[in-house]
Amino acid sequence: MKEWITGRNPVYEVLRANRRQVYRLLVASGAEEKGRLADIVRMAAQVRVPVTRVQRHQLDSLGENAQGVALEVSGYPYAAIQDVVGLAKSRGEPLFVLALDLIQNPQNLGTLLRTSEAAGVHGVLLPLARAAGVTPAVVHASVGASEHLLVAQANLATALTQLKQDADAWVIGMEGSPEAQPLERVRLDGPLVLVVGNEGEGMRPLVRKNCDLLVRLPMFGQIESLNAAVAGSIVLYRALEARLVKAQNQ
């Protein structure tokens, strides 16, 4: 299946990652080809991708905030869970995975993918259905970070069990309930799968049951919770910090 990626940074990252088949590049007529756009045109020429100049309104119909460029590519290349485990082993690092249970907002998913890539996770797990996948809108929201990540689709409850067995992972779910432990009391420096639930309903019962423990963020204001993408990003970086400290002390 073919799809259009728009926006200069997302298009640039798709070309740089070189994980998809690329069919053609459209550039707005009259666009000044310098900076990132010049890089895109050069990279397309290097892999012999046809470049066509078109009217800007044609690009605007292909996706949001096209910024004068659109790239026609094959669908997103999902990975297997074994690929994620293998990446951690090849790097000699304890497993670091983000599992998203029915995140449905493309902007939230894009934000979490961008944070995951920046924090060095080995992979992101998504459900097989009823959740946002890595669509062009998500690629745009992630500013192309999705192209450098291993993202797998799976039955989450089964996948969590598999990661416990294959990588001795500790599965930690995020929740604001009284049962959840304060984040500052939980170790995050070992093999870890962090689970973030749906924006409104949280984790599904079976996914929650497969968590080894639950954590909550400290909240001192008047609101009860944070946006799923914000909360998940905070814990990802707390985990990264813990892993860096442990590595420095070894």
Residue 197: strand, helix, or coil: coil
H-only helix segments in the chain: 8-17, 36-46, 56-60, 81-91, 106-119, 136-141, 156-167, 205-209, 228-249
What is the domain-level CATH number for residue 54? 3.30.1330.30
* Percent of the chain whose pLDDT exceeds 70: 100
State the residue range of the domain holding 14.
2-74
217 confidence band (pLDDT: 50, 70, 90): very high
For residue 64, the model assigns a pLDDT of 84
**Residues 164 and 218 reside in one and the same domain:** yes
Of the residues 17, 43, 74, which one is the last residue of a structural domain? 74
Distance of CA 115 to the CA centre of its chain: 7
**Residues 145 and 26 reside in one and the same domain:** no
What is the domain-level CATH number for residue 132? 3.40.1280.10
**Residues 116 and 210 reside in one and the same domain:** yes
For residue 183, the model assigns a pLDDT of 95
Of the residues 74, 91, 113, which one is the last residue of a structural domain? 74
**Residues 142 and 166 reside in one and the same domain:** yes
